[in-house]
Amino acid sequence: MTDVVKSYPPSEKGGAPVVAIDNVSVDVERGDVYGIIGYSGAGKSTLVRLVNGLEKATSGSIVVNGTEITSLKERSMRAVRGDIGMIFQQFNLFNSKTVAKNVAYPLEVAGRPAAEIAARVAEMLAFVGLSDKAKNYPDQLSGGQKQRVGIARALATSPSLLLADEATSALDPETTSEVLALLDRVNRELGVTIILITHEMDVIRSLATKVAVMDGGQIVERGDVFDVFAHP
């Protein structure tokens, strides 16, 4: 991102526009685990929504995998989004679909052949350690298991970038460690770049290599995790 501004229009009651992202430049490189930390309202979610094109920047430039996305039409944006996986605080699984069907979903949307989908679903469930849960429904899983399904679904189409928005914030500390260990394997074994949004410093400490601290829509500090957190 270079000099990105995102302002939301004033509410119906009037007033000033909300500047959610205030002239942010940030460079995430392939293979990074890049942490974005900040309090509620700092602009973290907006930043992520700009990267996957769910929000349009008011000004500035955003390049994802070599493609400048700020002026893309929706159809071209879908192609860029195909190379981005996303996981969420509340997992966002389909409760009426089995675990296998949840993981299969993005492959079905992409129109992959049934045999390829079956093989890929099996592969992803093995990777996250849930092969024995393929026929279960999300309601029958623990929070940590649900997020592992979320990770399997996010990576089913082999994206090169994973956006994790408060992905461990609904989990207890032990389960958080398990999910962070899995994300570490996603980065190291699959080579997936991860942008990790969180309000928890421990999450950044245990997984990220680089960190940007956001406040009021700006990056107020950034660098290697060790350096940034060595001088609190």
Residues that bind ligand ADP (CB under 6 A): 8, 18, 20, 38, 40-46, 98, 100-101, 104, 117-118, 121-122, 125, 134
Least Å distance between CB 46 and ligand ADP?
3
When the beta carbons of 56 and 177 are compared against ligand ADP, the nearer one is: 56
When the beta carbons of 25 and 67 are compared against ligand ADP, the nearer one is: 25
Distances 133 to 10, 87, 146, 157 between C-alpha atoms, Å? 46, 19, 10, 20
Give the start-end residues of each E strand in the chain: 2-8, 18-24, 33-37, 59-61, 63-64, 67-68, 84-88, 161-165, 193-198, 210-215, 218-224
Least Å distance between CB 131 and ligand ADP?
6
Least Å distance between CB 140 and ligand ADP?
13
Interatomic CA distance for residues 232 and 225, integer angstroms: 11
When the beta carbons of 134 and 201 are compared against ligand ADP, the nearer one is: 134
When the beta carbons of 132 and 189 are compared against ligand ADP, the nearer one is: 132
Least Å distance between CB 94 and ligand ADP?
11
Closest CA to 3 of 61, 80, 68: 61
